[in-house]
Amino acid sequence: MIIMKQSEIKELSTAELQEKLGETKASYAELRIAHAVSPLDNPIQLRAVRRTVARIATELTKREL
C-alpha cells in the first residue's frame, strides 16, 4: 500500500509523480476489489490511498500551471 505525505510528494520529479500516480491508482483498485470480495481488516486504508491519489494529482496540476 502506498501512502505518502505532501512533503514527500513535493520532493519527487514530475516523471516520478506520474509513475507513483499509476501505481497508487492500481493499488486503490486492488483494495476496492479485495474489499468487495471480503471486508478488509482496516477499511480506512481505502480512504488513505484515495487521498494519496488526490495529493499526487493535485501536485501534478500545480506543476502544469
23-49 pLDDT, tens digit each = 999 999 999 999 999 998 888 999 999
Share of the chain above pLDDT 90, in %: 68
Q: What is the pLDDT of residue 1?
A: 59
Domain ranges of the chain: 6-64
Domain topology for 6-64: Helix Hairpins (1.10.287)
Q: What is the pLDDT of residue 65?
A: 86
Q: Mention every residue, 6+ apart, whose C-beta is less than 8 A from residue 52.
A: 2, 3, 4, 24
Other Cβ atoms closer than 10 A to 59: 19
Question: Could you tell me the three cell numbers for 2?
Answer: 502506498
Question: Could you tell me the three cell numbers for 36?
Answer: 468487495
pTM score, two decimals?
0.86
Instruction: With beta carbons less than 8 A apart as the criterion, state whether 25 and 50 touch.
Output: no
